[in-house]
Structure 1
Amino acid sequence: MSDPQPTVRSEMSGIAGHVVQAGDVHGGVHLHQAKSSDAGPPRQLPADVRGFVNRVVELGRLDRLLDDRTPEFAAPAVVLIAGTAGVGKTSLAVHWAQRVRNLFPDGQLYINLRGYDPGAPVTPESALNLFLQALGVRASAIPSDPQAKAMLYRSLLADRRVLVVLDNAATVSQVRPLLPGTASCLVLVTSRNRMPGLVSRDGAVRVTVDVLDDSEAVTLLRNLVEEHRGDDDLEELNELSHLCARLPLALRIAAERAATRPWMALSELIHDLRDESALWGALSSADDDEADAVRTVFAWSYRALPNAAAQLFRRLGLHPGAEFGLGAAAALAGLNTGAARHVLDVLLAGHLLEQVGPDRYQLHDLLRAYAIDQVRHDEPPDEQRAAIFRLLSWYLSAAEQAYLSVSRGGRHLKIDVEAAELPSAPEAFADREQALAWYGRERSNLMAATRVAAECGFDRIAWQIPGTLAVIYDNHDSADVWLATERAALEAARRVGDRYGQGVLLDRQGIKFRKLRRADEALDCFREALEVFEFLGNGLGKARVTNGMGVVHMEAERLQEARASFERAITAEPLSDGETSMRALATVNLGDTHLKLGSPEEALRCVADAMPTLRRLDDVIVELVATRVQGVAQRELGMLAESRASFQTAVELIRRAGNLIAECEVFLELARLEIAEGSPADALVSAQRAIVIAQQFSVTTVEAQGLDVTGIAYQELGRQSDAVPFHRRAVELCRAVGDVGGVNAATLRLSTALESEEREQR
């Protein structure tokens, strides 16, 4: 028969493009990391700051450090820019980073760690997730283990020239996991903390930023107002700069107010600011001149805002995250998006807000703290609560639109969303990709919104947000990302007595524990969920959790229990497309179980039963699994050409589904097929791809099988000594996850390889 192998391999290279480089198989297998695209190196630096002045000494120091990194730098190369709040650390870091970015052709990474934000700081794990995605790793391929994330990050940056800017770090522990492992990269950290541990242990070089001197402060004021005002008196400019404690943040806000009142003498503005300062001094007990100066300027600018802008500014203090979109701001304000954009423009013009992207905004941490103070002082509690409810409703409604764009097949438990009427409700997403991009931007806000909903007693919203979004994050985040949030959501459903919500969240938790290989906890959740759905008479729910229990049993090699669970799910009376889709999934899983029980004919029969339903409902993810099972069964029956055609179809479905776990499984089975076809060298490449993806997604069983198959391929090539370490590592991994069958099989192959190696050496 003709060998269509080159065609399939070419097709697959489009899925895992640059995932691996097999190199010369005679030199061994080299594992590289899965990349999601060829979008080019990351370019994440914010725009340079308008009106940046002087800082000649600091810029010169930074330039010298870059020119001569040895011996002053250790690896990794780290510079700490330290100074008080509002002194311009970020402006200096961004300005210098923009100047030198061309020296780092492999990319520039930037993150605001929000170490001093009134809300929760960005954790190292969250920062690593974002950096890994920026470096091309698919979100679903990021390991759940924090140490594994950091190792992958360092591997991707090894021998690359990348500039990493870690803005607003509060502690060394927030920074250390984000340090590359190579001196070819440069890390720029900004912090109010002098971080002696980062200097002493990690070899960071500290550059301290003080307030501007008189000349620099006046120059900044002049640069910002020169297009709008005449020649202001130097003495008055000096006085204004001193009232702002010569802090760039305060100076920019004061300059903007002066620029928007060109008819008003500077002396009048100074008089107003002095009055505000006296009032703040009477109200404040803080013994911190710089902090008092900043807050005084905030208050002075805030009180001058139109009512609508002042109201929105303080209500932004209610937002659970520092960054937000136009729709969320409109919900807080109770305005339509057009009116909200106009009000946001007023805040932008006054430097009370920063724009970080199209219809995306953020508050400086000092301004956010001030906004929180003002909303607590100026807004009655019932109005605060109403604004929070609108905001949470907006996020829930947007989550529902994302669900509608992404869900396929009807297997998912439907959520009857309960949200407020909004002046501007979220619009439908144009397609699946747009919905996923929105989710990527809003992930942290959505988790924070769930927590806020639970804390404020909006318990239905608290469980409905993750219940609605599960269809997305199950395939685009590692299992640990939403685990704690789902727990809070489950408690919310229990508080409100919503049995359906409890069933939904118990099912979700069962899936999470299964993926984390916590089988007993997974089964406990599924059993409790089954009781709920039986009480409610919900057929789809019963089928889902019964199937979930079957998957737990199958992964634990309890195949008879798995078979019984899947058969119970299949025989449930189908009352809707959802239950029909679930029945098809259970049928495919039963086929997979038959494969493991040594009955490939039964597996093919199961796939044939399920496939018409899957195609009718466009359930591409389950169709992909069914096609893989079909290909394996055909291979086991000696139908090699048919098996290769099935794997070819599976590759096409991977592109549509974007399911990375299925991708590594398909590569693994293709490697086994190539061994059966007598092409072990090609099997090395396919197995290698499977291993890489499995490592990144912490699919240890597939990683172990891939290593074992690699050893088999080397044995087929007559290279017993190369096979031994792969079989040995496969045994170790199988033992670590309690895969007794895998341990036995890999041990047998290891023994064979060792005996053959011994014969070769005689």
Structure 2
Amino acid sequence: MRQSAGDPSRPEGVSSTLAGAAHDVVQARDIAGGVHFYTAQRTENASAVPHQLPADLRGFVGRRGELDKLEALLSGGDEPVTLVVVAGTAGVGKTSLAVHFAHLVRSRFPDGQLFVNLRGYDPGTPLTSAGALERFLRALGVAPGSIPAGVEERAALYRTLLAGRRVLVVLDNAATAGQVRPLLPGEAGSLAVVTCRGRLSGLSARDGARRITVGLLTETESVALVNTVTTGYRAGDDPAQVAQLARLCARLPLALRIAAERAAARPLMPLRELIADLRDESSLWDALSIEDDADADAVRTVFAWSYRALPPAAARAFRLLGLHPGTDFSLAAAAALLDETPERTRALLDVLTGAHLLEQTGSARHQFHDLLRAYAADLAASQEEEAAQRAALLRAAHWYLRTADTAMRATQSLRPSVLTGSPGAYPPPFGPDDRTAANDWYVAERANLLALAHAAAQARLDEIAWQLSASVQTLQAAHGDTDDRLEMGQLGLQAARRLGDRRAEARVLQGLGFAWKAAGQGERALSHHLAALEIFTVQRDRLGVIEAHNSIGLIHLRHRELDDAADRFEQTVRLAEADGHRAWHAVALDNLARTRLEQGRLAQVVELADRAMRVHREIRTEGAPLLETLITLIRAHRESGRLDRAQECTVSAERILEGGTRYAALEVDIALERAAITLESGDAGGASEMYLNCLRLQRRLNDPAREAATYCGIGTALRSQGRVEEAIDFHRRAVAARRALPDAYRLAVELGLLAQCLDAAGQTEQARPFRAEARELAGAFTDPRAAALHARLSALADP
């Protein structure tokens, strides 16, 4: 937000809202790119303390030798150990050991514990280093819109955030050293624990890793594990028979727990009969690949032995759940896949969990051990007809697609559903019918949605693949999931082109344009929106044409190509008004008003924003679009000197927020405007307090644009009070934060204000380079405000 185009002492850009991150389809404000530079100042807000460790395994037994070795590595020696590799065969208990050790030593890492399953041995695609870094950066407090696009840039920011901190990082199920290396802390103090089936020798050679090899449990430990699981259920078992059972399980913890759970579930059956049954089990399955053949036979035998003891319905459920494409699943998703009622599905999941064939991860969520998932999928492939397998995948896919569509429509009103036809025999979606429920559902299912997109593309379920991409893009945008948006968008685009469906292609291109814009790739974004516009025009899709023009306008506005932006928004206004698309009409009027505001045409801004408000009232708009237009009016009235009118609009916006509507970014924008109004009213002290409150609010967002605006406002208020040295510090902070954004004009504004403060403090030599940089940046733009700023800076330049 800006106050004046003519007075070089006034805080132009004090509370710019051109980098918000709410809904890019409806806002000119959402035009921020990714992080491009890293400074100490930029990372101050990324101070979250993550606690991501899974729950410790109930009844953990044994591994005293391995735990002692890990403790010795952590505590002993002159050179601190920063990387430990826990290696061993599948099912040997590597993850259980690593998580148990992490819980034992977590107090030594007060700055947090990070955990990720890299899925190196899952049937699906392993998690990439970039994907894992995105999760870690979020956990460390980095706003989604501030996460860089490239893996190297993400790794650099990650190491910056861990510098000087003591953080424990557990990297589970790693496949290669290359997958792990970008996730390693950069200096001593933190510890990374990696679990893997291979040796990952490259980590030892290049990164100084120390390796702990996890072997089979001893017979004593194996017997202790069986006794721990069966205590309270069985009594009087012959210790020799318990030892025999342990040997038949190859002393592997996963197999031992499954066998012991079956023994506990049959307390009256003599143990010798269970042993005989296990010994006679001869069905070996090829889906599992374990390095040691004897161990492989034992695990396969125990799996088959436990599976054959299931009731037929539970056995079928086990097989079909192996077809679920994601890493975990909800009760509702399982019910859809199995074609069962939720009540019946819950009973089946309870049976599988009781048999240790599934793990429960939440009140209504379950997951497979990766070996068991492979085993279940192999059973489905060998025992289910191909048509039955495809039908199960289709049921799950339609459930996710229709639930995503419901969630999308609960969070925005501009984009229509892309689904066509009747759901027919497919199960009804879960109903996230309000914004909070929709966002909660998306967060829980994010990884599954991406996995489903890949599964649909692989199965040539092309209509589902493109519709899923189009249906989740607004949810992905709201959560800053740019990587997923791009990946799913590419899958959807390929699917639409395979179908030869041009309208579908245009819809996906439009979504990809938003994704590339969020990734800071303006040229790519523009090319996708232009391609979408061309198809929409040929197909005579008027609503698509309206959205595409608006999107192209946002790209031009982001690059401060204001005349081009205005042209696009004017076309959007005309088309939306002519076609009776009232919601788009209001949005386009507001975007045009914002563009005129950047051009300094304040009278037009008020007229356009008033028209937008009238449309909002007629169609009873709620939430973000209404607040956006009110903020436009506040800025226009304030910059025109009509502080009373600006105050009235601010009160109206605050009442909407008080009514239960919660948009954190817009709440900060409104608070910044109130502070600016107070400052212009002559109450610099009161404004300082308000800006400090804005600082507290915006730190929840970790948004560099609002951070810069807040620091700039504090600096301006302090300078008005004669506290110039303090003001200089805050203007330096504003410049540092703004450098994290591709917003050259506002950087020029803030550099100019910093130079002014330095001049006022008699630090003329220090001011010169900042003023020169600001003048050069402002000279790249031709609009009236930028030209006026360049002229003022040039007039102040040294002869």
1:535-591 deviation line (CA, Å, top 9, x unaligned): 4443322111011122223334433332222111111153777x2222222222222
User: Does the alignment pair 1:588 with 2:593?
Assistant: no
Matched residues in 2 for 1:240 and 1:729: separation?
Answer: 76
Instruction: Kindly state the Cα deviation for residue 730 of structure 1 after the two structures are TM-superposed.
Output: 6.8
Shift of 1:303: 1.5
Match of 1:84 in 2: 89
Structure-2 residue corresponding to 1:657: 663
Q: How does 1:114-125 map to 2 (within 5 A)?
A: 114-125=119-130
| Aligned-pair CA distance for 1:382 | 0.5
- Structure 1 CA distance, aligned partners of 2:286 and 2:706? 68
Give the one of 210, 214, 218 matched to 1:213: 218
Within the candidate set 154, 159, 162, 1:157 is matched to 162
CA distance in 2, matches of 1:110, 1:176: 15
Distance 1:356 1:368, change over 3 A: same
Of 387-396 and 480-489, deviating more is 480-489
Task: Decide which of 546, 550, 554 is 1:551's aligned counterpart.
Answer: 554
* Larger relative contact order, structure 1 or 2 (CA cutoff 8 Å, min sep 6): 2
What does 1:423-572 align with in structure 2 at a 5 Å threshold?
A: 425-429=428-432, 431-572=434-575
Relative distance call for 1:710 and 1:245 in structure 2 (3 A) is farther
Look up the match of 2:68: 60
Give runs of aligned pairs for residues 550-629 of structure 1, distance below 5 A: 550-574=553-577, 579-614=581-616, 616-618=619-621, 620-629=623-632
Shift of 1:391: 0.3
CA distance in structure 2 between the partners assigned to 1:53 and 1:223 by the alignment: 8
- CA deviation map 1:499-529 (0-9, x unaligned): 4322321211222233445444433332332
In the other structure, the counterpart of 1:378 is: 383
Q: Quote the residue 2:79 is aligned against.
A: 71
1:700-759 CA deviation, whole Å, 9 max, x = no partner?
557745753563454464344554665677799999xx9798999999898888849xxx
- Measure the CA separation in 2 of the matches of 1:335 and 1:316: 12
SS at match of 1:574: helix
| Equivalent residue number for residue 305 of structure 1 | 310
1:32 equivalenced with 2:43 (yes/no): yes
The 5-angstrom pairing of residues 347-358 of structure 1 reads 347-358=352-363
Partner of 1:361: 366
Residue aligned with 1:344, SS: helix
Contact 2:203 2:209 in 1 (8 A): yes
Gaps of 5+ in 2: 1-9, 22-38, 670-702
Query: Is 1:390 matched up with 2:395?
Result: yes
- Distance change in 2, residues 1:752/1:517 (3 Å): farther
CA contact under 8 A between 1:671 and 1:683: conserved in structure 2? no
Q: What's the offset of the Cα at 1:124?
A: 1.9
Amino acid at match of 2:63: R
Q: Which residue number in structure 1 is paired with residue 405 of structure 2?
A: 400
Residue correspondence of structure 1 range 411-430 to structure 2 within 5 A = 411-416=414-419, 420=423, 425-429=428-432
Alignment of 1:289-300 (within 5 A): 289-300=294-305
Change (3 A) 1:459 1:111: same
Quote the sequence identity (%). 40
**Separation of aligned partners in 2, 1:645 and 1:694:** 34
Other-structure match for 2:108: 103
SS at match of 1:99: helix
2: CA distance, partners of 1:732 / 1:168:
51
Shift of 1:316: 1.7
CA distance in 1, matches of 2:252, 2:487: 40
User: Which residue of 2 is the match for residue 139 of structure 1?
Assistant: 144
Question: Distance between the aligned counterparts of 1:627 and 1:285, measured in 2?
Answer: 63
The answer to whether structure 1 residue 288 and structure 2 residue 290 are counterparts is no
Residues 74, 80 of structure 2: 8 Å contact kept: no
Name whichever of 388-397 and 286-295 sits farther off. 286-295
Contact 1:644 1:673 in 2 (8 A): no
> Counterparts of 1:631-670 in structure 2 under 5 Å?
631-634=634-637, 636-638=639-641, 656-659=662-665, 665=705
Measured against aligned partners, the alpha-carbon deviations of 1:435-455 in whole angstroms (never above 9, x if no partner) come to: 212211211211221222232
Q: TM-score, normalised by structure 2?
A: 0.80
Cα distance in 2 between the residues matched to 1:722 and 1:645: 42
Residues 720 and 611 of structure 1, relative CA distance in 2, 3 Å threshold: farther
CA contact (8 A) 1:510 1:526 kept: yes
2:58 is aligned to 50
Aligned partners of 2:428, 2:164: CA distance in 1, in Å? 48
1:249-268 → structure 2 map (5 Å cutoff): 249-268=254-273
User: Is the Cα–Cα contact under 8 Å of residues 748 and 773 in structure 2 kept in the other structure?
Assistant: no
Q: Say yes or no: does 1:172 pair with 2:177.
A: yes
Distance 1:690 1:112, change over 3 A: farther
Shift in alpha-carbon separation, 1:625–1:281, aligned structure 2, 3 A: closer
The corresponding residue for 2:29 is: none
Partner Cα distance (1:283, 1:562) in 2: 58
Secondary structure in structure 2 of the residue aligned to 1:188? strand
Query: What is the one-letter code of the residue matched to 1:488?
Result: L
Distance 2:227 2:709 in 1: 69
Distance in 1 (alpha carbons) for counterparts of 2:647 and 2:205: 58
2:351 maps to 1:346: yes
Name the stretch that deviates more: 299-308 or 126-135. Answer: 126-135
Q: Secondary structure at the match of 1:84?
A: coil
User: How far, CA to CA, are the matches of 2:542 and 2:294 in structure 1?
Assistant: 66
1:530, distance to aligned residue in structure 2 (A): 2.3
Q: How many aligned residue pairs are there?
A: 722
* Amino acid paired to 2:193: L
Q: The residue matched to 2:482 in structure 1 has which SS?
A: coil
| Greater mean alpha carbon deviation, residues 279-288 or residues 122-131 | 279-288
Deviations 1:668-694 (A, max 9, x none): 566777787764756964884686488
Equivalence for 2:28: none
Deviates more, 1:504-513 or 1:661-670: 661-670
- Alpha carbons of structure 1 residues 238 and 66: separation in structure 2 relative to 1, 3 Å: same
- Residue of structure 1 in register with 2:754 after alignment: 711
CA contact (8 A) 2:752 2:793 kept: no
RMSD: 3.9
1:429 CA displacement = 2.5
Q: Provide closer, same or farther for how the CA distance between residues 690 and 359 of structure 1 changes in structure 2, counting only shifts above 3 A.
A: farther
